[in-house]
A and B are shown apart, each in its own frame.
Chain A
Amino acid sequence: MIEQALTPTPAGRPARLAAVLRRNPLLTVGAALSLIVVLAGLFAPILAPHPADAYVATHPTETLLPPSGLHPFGTDQLGRDILTRVLYGARISPLIAVLVLLIACVVGIPLGIAAGYFGGLIDDVLMRITDVFLAFPALLLALAFAAVLSPSIGNTTLAIALTWWPWYTRLVRGQAASVAGRQYVEAARALGVPHRRILLRHVLPNSITPLIVQVSLDVSAVILTASALSFLGLGAQDPTPDWGLMVSQGQSYFTTQWWLVTFPGAAILLTAVAFNLLGDGLRDVLDPRRVPTR
């Protein structure tokens, strides 16, 4: 272990990256799988055998066909090619995850920094508010929000983001509070540097690393939550090729036509595994001391 630490890392970024990946095989697998999912989403129109089936096309004469050369994953109750829809699905769940995490960061980081840096009343009030939000399991609170909003992808994203920001406020607040007490911040304050500059130049950059790790770990949690909401009918609506919705619609047929449920669900699992491995690997590399809590 010690020898490993003392061995000079090979010069050059690609070589260093290669060394990191070699030492973390699971990170490599996670990165590769995540890349596959992202590429599948980006190039869905090229890769999909029947791009028209992704949304409105239906083929009443080709319903519920088992997997074959023409339809590798079979067709659904409206005769749409399931492989096509699964590939297009890679444009939906990951996008929801990115939007949710972006909103959660935009809301959560400033509040967390403010609470941690200023302390006092702002801190107390904000932390009690996050306490309340964190008293709900994420899926449940998102579900309640989604249930009272009308079902759509936008509202699903909003509902999940509403439940997610307090986690980040909490995390950033802890970091910011410890950074705020450091000497270089005190020195900057003593020199009369304005708060805004201290926050942006010193507190923010130094409290953000654990958040990056957490965000990468949360991608799969958001994807699972979003697909659960779709499964319950609170997310994307037909004909959107959303994986959770496809599983839900395939439910009525799955005892005889297993392919309707199996492939979209496997896509959810694969995506969640990919981003979980990626997040775990990033944590080991960036923040080796932290023990997973969630």
Chain B
Amino acid sequence: MIRYVVRRVALAILVVAGVVVLTFVIARVVPGDPAVSWAGPHASRAEIARVRHDLGLDRPLPVQIGRYFIGVLGGDWGTSIHTHRPVLSDIMDRAPASIELVLVALLFSLVVGIPLGLVSAKWPGKTADGVIRVGAVLGVSMPAFWLALILQLVFFQRLHLLPVAGQYDPNLDYTHPLTQYTRMVLVDALVTGNWSVLRSAAAHVVLPALVIASYPLGVITRMVRASVLDSVGEDHVRMVRSLGFPERSVFGRFALKLALNPVIAVVALVFAYSLANTFLVEAIFDWPGLGSYAADSISSLDTPAIVGVTLFVAIVYVLANLIVDLVQAWLDPRIALR
């Protein structure tokens, strides 16, 4: 087991190193001559040469990669052209809001998706199964940015039911100021017992979380359905059934337990996918997270910021995968022996 953990961690470190190199390629090699784009369209030849020297672009490529690498490790992720602040501190300011949003969406997808998948697998081919399967296909086929706009239209413009912008009502800052620990509003409000902010934040998170949840919900529902259907046919589940356990516990306990492993495996995948999806959704809901930061950087052609966010999400993804692998190996020790 320890050998497996060490090997898995070493692989993750190797992948992160590769990820840093790939972002270097994107930032410095793909755009042609970055010095020209840095200096701007009206720069003279001398200015371009100066920028090239300042950026270290006149050094050999391996030296450049080495410097970039050391910079990234030391927390120097470049300076945002748009905000004029270090990219890493921008990211650290923005990340909690996005992670909170994605976690709420994932929790919702698990709580709703697992029962839906079970119902679907319990009565395959029946009406409920058909409706759930079509719903799941709609979920994975949904353009998130479009769903966000449509929900805004329906809930805000027509029904006036739910707030559609920001994390909570900014007026509460005067009446019920929020002490920040984690920068995740829901968590901070809960920890400090700030119920007014909590209520407002909960209402604000519903629509963006629903949009983000659309894809994971579809994936998880299909996953649970497929793997429960698989496991129902297995010997020990048939055994449990023939021993006279009620149908409900055959499905809810024995088949589900088997089915959960692939679901856990897919959670890391959809977590990262959803983080990337916030790029499309946050700007629409005025959510002050990484996604709207990325959208701003894209519209202002802020390459260091875009590359920084890309690097950050990739690292989060590698970590999520690592955690999932370790959890799986802990649940099923046979994995570590392979």
Is residue A265 contacting chain B, with contact meaning CB distance below 8 A? yes
Cβ contact within 8 Å between A136 and B314: yes
Tell me, rounded to whole Å, the shortest Cβ–Cβ distance linking B95 to chain A. Answer: 14
Q: What is the 8 Å Cβ interface bit string for chain B, positions 38-69, against chain A (1 contact, 0 not)?
A: 00000000000000000000000000000000
Question: Is residue A244 contacting chain B, with contact meaning CB distance below 8 A?
Answer: yes
Query: Residue A2 at the B interface, CB < 8 A?
Result: no
Residues of the B chain whose Cβ atoms lie less than 8 Å from the Cβ of A227: 143
Chain A: minimal CB distance from B117 (Å): 12
Q: Binary interface profile of A, 131-166, with partner B (CB < 8 Å = 1, else 0)?
A: 111011111110111011100000000000000000
- Complex CA–CA separation, A136 to B272 (angstroms): 8
Which of A133, A144, A234 has the most C-beta atoms of chain B within 10 angstroms of its own C-beta?
A144
- Of the listed stretches B17-25, B86-94, B189-197, B323-331, name the one at the interface; the rest are far from the partner chain: B17-25
Contacts of B143 in A (CB 8 A): 224, 227-228, 231, 244, 247, 265, 268-269, 272
- Would A135 and B150 be within 8 Å (CB), given that A140-B276, A144-B306 are in contact? no
A141 to B227, CA, bound (A): 30
Cβ of A292 under 8 Å from chain B: yes
**Distance of A258 Cα from B158 Cα, bound (Å):** 11
> For the complex, is B230 an interface residue (Cβ under 8 Å from A)?
yes
Note all chain A residues with C-beta closer than 8 A to B295. 232
Stretch among A38-46, A71-79, A273-281 lining the B interface: A273-281
B131 at the interface (CB under 8 A from A): no
Whole-angstrom distance between the alpha carbons of A291 and B231 in the complex? 12
Q: Is A232 a contact of B153 with CB atoms below 8 Å?
A: no
* B277 nearest CB neighbor, chain A only: A139
Q: Does B317 reach chain A (CB closer than 8 Å)?
A: yes
The residues of B that contact A251 with a CB separation of less than 8 Å are 149, 284
- Closest chain A residue to B138 by CB distance? A273
Q: Say which one of B26-34, B108-116, B245-253 lies at the interface with A.
A: B26-34
Tell me, rounded to whole Å, the shortest Cβ–Cβ distance linking B265 to chain A: 8
Chain B 249-274, CB within 8 Å of chain A: the 1/0 string?
A: 00000000000001000100100110
Chain A residues with Cβ below 8 Å from B16 are 135
State whether the Cβ of B223 lies closer than 8 Å to any Cβ in chain A.
yes
Candidate in B18, B157, B226, B307 with the most chain A CB atoms within 10 angstroms = B18
Provide the bound-state CA to CA distance between A138 and B284, in Å.
21
Chain B nearest CB from A234 CB (Å) reads 7
Minimum CB–CB distance from A281 to chain B (whole Å) comes to 11
Residues of chain B lying within 8 A (CB to CB) of residue A285: none
CA distance A227 to B14 in the complex (A): 33
CB distance from B315 to the nearest CB of A (A): 8
A258:B280 contact, CB within 8 angstroms: no
Q: Are A145 and B149 in contact (CB under 8 A)?
A: no
CB within 8 A of B222: which of A247, A248, A292? A292
Closest residue of chain A to B143 (Cβ to Cβ) is A268
Contact (Cβ within 8 A) A137 B150: no
In the assembly, what is the distance between CA of A274 and CA of B262, in Å? 26
Cβ B18 vs Cβ A131 within 8 A: yes
Check B153–A135 contact: CB distance below 8 A.
no
Asked if A140 and B314 make an inter-chain contact with CB atoms under 8 angstroms apart, the answer reads yes
B216 CB to closest chain A CB (Å) equals 12
Contact A135 B15 (CB under 8 A): yes
Q: State whether A291 touches B230 (Cβ < 8 A).
A: yes
Chain B residues, CB < 8 A from A139? 273, 276-277, 279
Instruction: Say which residue of A137, A144, A269 sits within 8 Å of B307 (CB atoms).
Output: A144
Give me 20 A-to-B residue pairs in the complex whose CB atoms sit less than 8 angstroms apart, sorted by A's number. A26-B133, A26-B134, A131-B14, A135-B16, A135-B18, A135-B321, A137-B272, A137-B273, A144-B23, A148-B303, A148-B306, A220-B140, A228-B145, A228-B279, A232-B280, A232-B295, A247-B145, A254-B153, A261-B153, A262-B150
